[in-house]
Structure 1
Amino acid sequence: MEHFQDEASRTFDAEFSRLSSLVQERIQMEWRFHDREDFKVPGFHLLDAAVEFGKVLRAVYRHHLQEALQEEAVWMAAVFDSHGWGQDAFSLLLDSWNIAILGTIPSPECNLLAKPLQSLRAELPALFAAARERNQRKNQTSSSILLAPLLRGDLPEARKSLASLAELYGSPERVIIEGILRAMAEVGELWEQNRIEIYQEHLATETIRNLLAGLTAQFHSPRPETGKTALVSCSPGDSHALIPLALCTYLEIRGWKAKNLGGSLPAEQIARAARAMAPDALFLTFTTLSRLDDVLETKERVQAEGISCRIIVGGRGAQAARSLLGKNQILVAADFEEGFQLAMGVNVHA
């Protein structure tokens, strides 16, 4: 069976561009010929979601991560539901991939590839019910005192709120974890739930950058320096550079020297940076399963450069691929504190 799955995955890889084009064409035909008002709500975002879902499928097929596909589908259903795109739009996405696969790839490979999609299609009402419950739970949680000033881009008020959190939590690292990271997560969730405008998300992002810069200056090396250096980056192709910035600030406060590569660097450049800086640890943010092969490539390139540092990843995609990453000597951290402990050589799962 595994032989057939591998062969099916290779065929999917070879036909991916064609399959993706067919999926997008079918979705556009639905818009053009059926004039469905509910499909006009997501608009071209549905095309982007269809392409991203295809990249997730490629990782799932290649690495036999069918269970992780379920989690990704629940997350996507939550986004579709909160944005008002609806279950039918997600059905269109799944059906388009299913039809493209069955119409392009020969049997029996097409049947192996289509099976998980057909299972998701059958479970879609339950997936959306779980997504709505998840969104409702998030709506019921209390907001961080940082949230309102962040969404207004009110830096002076945000600094006052941060000072209150510093008095409450005492240590600067806890301010980052309990204050800034929590607020960042809330901003992300509000975007997922379509409850804030794009400009508000941008205001919040820039205000957080300023807060983090202030923290570094305020708590410069409050603990003895460890003599260790960390290299921090998004996974290749990922442009969400705020988490690496927050992690660098956290590590510097904990006594590390942290170098931030930001986002969108290819694996080759991350590996060259590792060769030049010889870090004790390389941290990669890994937000979606579609980046899995980029993360694995980065690890291979770093090792090819003769660098033997610990490689630590975190994020939703990392959790979904935890077992596979572990087999490839890549450590998975649930949060900043666990990442710090792993970088220090502590076996947090003992």
Structure 2
Amino acid sequence: MEAAKVDPVANDFLQNLLIGNRANCSAIARKYLEVNPSVKDLYEQVFKTSLYEVGRLWETNQITVATEHLATAITEGILNELFEQIISTEKINKKVVVACVENEHHQVGVKMVADVFEMKGWESFFLGTGIPTSELIKFIQETGPDILAVSLSVYFNFANLLKMLEIIRVHFPELKIILGGQAFVHVTGEALERLGNVIIFTDLYLLEKYIDVLNSNL
């Protein structure tokens, strides 16, 4: 199979993902943090880069869907391993609900978003995939978050996102909504305008700056 050029550490991680070696992937991640303690760099430069390449390989029929699912599961497992190391012990009185658009099946990216909020002292409710909009609305009513973060990985689900936003705004017109995900590479022009009053983040560094601004206003 032909792989695109990536950072050496990310490439090492990628190759181990593709053969399903979870132990090596975990060791690579931990060694990376020993040299560079920035979790955001690990997420962006290693995990995100590798998974985008996994997606490209799958889209071009160079790997099977089973291999793609395995790579995703391994990465998510490592996120769970690292969670206790990254959460902030200093909590602030802010909450975020983090979820995917209906019919989305990719949640690793949005889990990283939830982790960044946790690093910044927020209480993060990570709902992942498979949440109907009606149930999401009930959960928002129960928890009263300051922000709703939604992931769109596959552009095919853009219509579902628009419908979801329309319904949520009826119930929570003042709720801040932020969006992200690989699909937004393809969302431009009129499609962007149809999203209305939302903020779109293309990486975790921009998200962190946004959270820092919010935290500084407390």
**Amino-acid identity (%):** 21
**Structure 1 pair 188/333, CA: closer, same or farther in 2 (3 Å)?**
same
The 1:209–1:184 alpha-carbon spacing in structure 2 relative to 1, beyond 3 Å, is same
CA 1:240–1:176 in structure 2 vs 1: closer, same or farther (change >3 Å)?
A: same
Shift of 1:324: 1.0
Partner of 2:48: 181
Unaligned runs of 5+ in 2: none
Does 2:160 match 1:291?
no
1:247 aligned partner, one-letter code? V
Hey, what's the Cα distance between the residues in 2 that align with 1:141 and 1:176? 14
1:253-310 CA distance string (max 9 Å, x none) = 2322211111132322222222221111111112344333322332232232236221
Q: 1:273 aligns with which of 139, 145, 148?
A: 139
Corresponding residue number in structure 1 for 2:180: 314
Question: Could you state the TM-score of these two structures normalised by the residue count of structure 2?
Answer: 0.82
Match 1:332 to one of 180, 184, 200: 200
Asked if 1:255 is matched to 2:147, the reply is no
| CA–CA distance in structure 2, aligned partners of residues 254 and 237 of structure 1 | 29
Please say if residues 179 and 199 of structure 2, whose CA atoms lie closer than 8 Å, have aligned partners that are also in contact. yes
Q: Output one character per residue of 1:8-47: Cα deviation in whole Å (capped at 9) or x when no partner.
A: xxxxxxxxxxxxxxxxxxxxxxxxxxxxxxxxxxxxxxxx
Give the structure 2 partner of residue 139 of structure 1: 4
In structure 2, relative to structure 1, the CA distance for the partners of 1:232 and 1:194 (3 Å cut) is same
**Which residue among 184, 199, 212 is the counterpart of 2:79?**
212
Q: 2:20 aligns with which of 134, 137, 153?
A: 153
8 Å contact from structure 1 (residues 231, 283) kept in 2: yes
Higher helix share: 1
Q: Which has the larger radius of gyration?
A: 1
Q: Is the 8 A contact 1:216 1:253 kept in 2?
A: no
Unaligned runs of 5+ in 1: 1-81, 83-135
> In structure 1, what is the equivalent of residue 192 of structure 2?
323
User: What secondary structure is seen at the aligned counterpart in 2 of 1:260?
Assistant: strand
User: What is the one-letter code of the residue matched to 1:187?
Assistant: V
Distance 2:7 2:45 in 1: 13
Aligned residues: 209
The change in CA–CA distance for 1:289 and 1:203 in structure 2 (over 3 A counts) is: closer
CA distance in 2 between counterparts of 1:142 and 1:171 reads 16
Contact 2:97/2:140 (8 A) holds in 1:
yes
Is 2:172 the partner of 1:303? no
Q: 1:294 to 1:305 in 2, by over 3 A?
A: same
What residue in structure 1 maps to residue 70 of structure 2?
203
> Given residue 192 of structure 2, which amino acid in structure 1 is its aligned partner?
S
What RMSD over aligned residues (CA atoms) do the two structures have, in Å?
2.6
Q: Which has the higher strand share?
A: 2
Please give the alpha-carbon distance, in whole angstroms, between the structure 2 residues aligned to 1:231 and 1:312: 10
One-letter amino acid matched to 1:185: Y
Q: Deviations over 1:80-99 (max 9, x none)?
A: xx9xxxxxxxxxxxxxxxxx
